[in-house]
Amino acid sequence: MALGSSPVEAASQEIRALFQPDPAHPNKNVFVNKTPSTGYCADAPEQCAEHKMFSIQLPIRVNSNRSIKPGDSIPLKVPANWRQLTVTNSATQEAETVEMRIIGIGSWYALSDTAANLVGVSDVLEGHQKLWTSSSWVYVPPPCQYSGVGYYWPDRYRFFWKAPVEASCTKVAAYTIPAMSFESVDFAYELRTPNPLGMSSGLYTGSLTYTLGPGGDFDFGPLMEPDDRSLSLDFVLDVQHTLKVDLPPGGNKVTLEPAGGWQSWLENGRRPTRIYRDQPYYLSASSRFKVMMQCNSLGGTACHMGSPTGRSAQVETTMTVPPGIVGPGGGEGWSGKLHHNTWIGPFQPVQYVDRKAGSLRFEIPERYFYSFLQPGVSDTLTGYITIIWDSEI
């Protein structure tokens, strides 16, 4: 005697969404659905556009397990309540929460004979209307709602119902139907996705599994049995951030000098109180980032300039970020000093910042003036400072 078990069938479907910053809509920080609509929304795109729905058609067939008698109910229930799943960035292992709910259900029902023959009339539409106690399936039983359109053939009927709540919506047979099936299962869905500005670039993946059949998440009643018992929705959230820094032409060569230039010193010997330069930069950012300064000089937290004669001066570097960027400790428009080989951050955009101006101030503290601001002394001090913006936090 041999014992065995039937394999458990399962269907799967990928749900894909993309975030890319849009310079034309910097405040629109949302994922865009990239899963192609199939099923009802492919057949009636204008209806789905009006109701802001996306639909997916699954190759799941649901068959009656006996003949349907007058008074028998065919209920449909979908998981209309929000459910959570975790999506994880495979590179960084960062995890985020996605929420999903099913907001509509539809199919083609197929009959073992024409609807007109089953009810004893000649008109196709009249047959579908009389077959059920509450007319044809375009007339939606509460609490489900009308979705816009139905299509019919002699032995088939295309329907789709909106499902605002998680409850059964029931049609009742008025005549005997020897056999009936749903040839596929269409569902519409809605997503709640995390704020992409707080996510690192990359692919975030995760799965959500629903059960199908009597008592399941997708329930077609005791008379209708699906050929798959579970549905796995595989989510892929693609985050493609922008982090770009531009300098104006010639901005990589910075000349430090007093306000108004050197004329007061050269002509009158008037010692300047400040030697500096404010260098603008233009930042485009849609994600967190950090900043570090590196010097070609050694020692201390600030960079130094030097000359062949042995003179040197310290240079302090202060960075100011554009509005729309929150710096360490909170607050937009952060300004603070950079230190050699030390990361500062994170900096977090509150919206997509598209080529907004920030500034870098390079300044020699006054105590260093005296080593080279002497009558009759001419010298040139140079140094190299590198500022790094990095989206890897």
pLDDT digits (tens, 9 = 90+) for 243-299: 999 999 999 999 999 988 988 888 887 888 899 999 999 999 999 999 999 999 877
pTM reported for the whole predicted model: 0.81
* Between residues 72 and 199, the one the model is more confident about: 72
* Between residues 102 and 260, the one the model is more confident about: 102
Residue 380 lies in a domain: yes
175 and 322 assigned to the same domain: no
Query: Which amino acid is located at 77 in the chain?
Result: K
- pLDDT band of residue 87 (cuts 50, 70, 90) is very high
Give the integer Cα–Cα distance in Å for 18 and 237: 6
Answer whether residue 175 shows pLDDT above 90.
yes
β-pair type (275-285, 243-246): antiparallel
β-pair type (32-33, 145-146): unpaired
- pLDDT band of residue 370 (cuts 50, 70, 90) is confident
Across residues 13-42, what is the average pLDDT? 89
* Between residues 165 and 6, the one the model is more confident about: 165
200 and 302 assigned to the same domain: no
Give the integer Cα–Cα distance in Å for 265 and 106: 84
Residue 6 lies in a domain: no
27 and 143 assigned to the same domain: yes
Residue 362 lies in a domain: yes
Picking from 239, 269, 297, the residue at the C-terminal end of a domain is 239
235 and 249 assigned to the same domain: no
Specify the pLDDT at position 4: 34
144 and 52 assigned to the same domain: yes
Answer whether residue 6 shows pLDDT above 50.
no
Answer whether residue 9 shows pLDDT above 80.
no
Specify the pLDDT at position 1: 28
Q: Is the dihedral of CA 163, 8, 223, 181 positive or negative?
A: positive
Q: Is the dihedral of CA 322, 325, 331, 335 positive or negative?
A: negative
Please report, for residues 61, 158, 217, the alpha-carbon distance to residue 185 in angstroms, rounded to integers and kept in the order given: 7, 11, 13
Specify the pLDDT at position 178: 98
337, 318 Cβ separation under 8 angstroms: yes
- Strands (DSSP E) found in 229-379: 230-239, 243-246, 275-285, 289-295, 303-306, 312-320, 325-326, 335-337, 343-349, 353-364
228 and 295 assigned to the same domain: no
Tokens of 164: 């605002």
Which residues have a Cβ under 8 Å from the Cβ of 32 and sit 6 or more positions away?
17, 18, 19, 20
> Closest Cα partner for 348 from 241, 268, 262?
241
Mean pLDDT over the full length of the chain: 91
Which residues have a Cβ under 8 Å from the Cβ of 29 and sit 6 or more positions away?
19, 21, 195, 196, 197, 286, 351, 352
Domain count, the chain: 2
* Between residues 37 and 155, the one the model is more confident about: 155
Across residues 137-156, what is the average pLDDT? 91
69 and 160 assigned to the same domain: yes
Specify the pLDDT at position 10: 72
- pLDDT band of residue 368 (cuts 50, 70, 90) is confident
* Between residues 248 and 148, the one the model is more confident about: 248
- How many residues are there in the chain? 393
- pLDDT band of residue 393 (cuts 50, 70, 90) is low
Picking from 214, 239, 264, the residue at the C-terminal end of a domain is 239
Q: Which long-range contacts (CB under 8 A, 24 or more apart) does 164-169 make?
A: 164/80, 164/103, 165/80, 166/77, 166/78, 166/79, 166/80, 166/81, 167/77, 167/80, 167/143, 168/75, 168/76, 168/77, 168/219, 168/221, 169/75, 169/76, 169/77, 169/140, 169/141, 169/142, 169/143, 169/144
Burial of 98 (0-12, 13-18, 19+ CB in 10 A): buried
165 and 231 assigned to the same domain: yes
Residue 344 lies in a domain: yes
Give the integer Cα–Cα distance in Å for 148 and 104: 12
CB atoms inside a 10 Å sphere around CB 150: 18
129 and 181 assigned to the same domain: yes
| CATH classification of the domain holding 341 | 2.60.40
Give the integer Cα–Cα distance in Å for 128 and 40: 19
221 and 279 assigned to the same domain: no
276 and 227 assigned to the same domain: no
Residue 3 lies in a domain: no
Picking from 195, 219, 239, the residue at the C-terminal end of a domain is 239
> 268 — phi, psi (to 5°)?
-120, -5
Give the integer Cα–Cα distance in Å for 378 and 373: 8
DSSP label at residue 8: P
Residue 4 lies in a domain: no
107 and 229 assigned to the same domain: yes
Residue 1 lies in a domain: no
Answer whether residue 376 shows pLDDT above 90.
no
Residue 2 lies in a domain: no
Q: Domain of 35?
A: 11-239
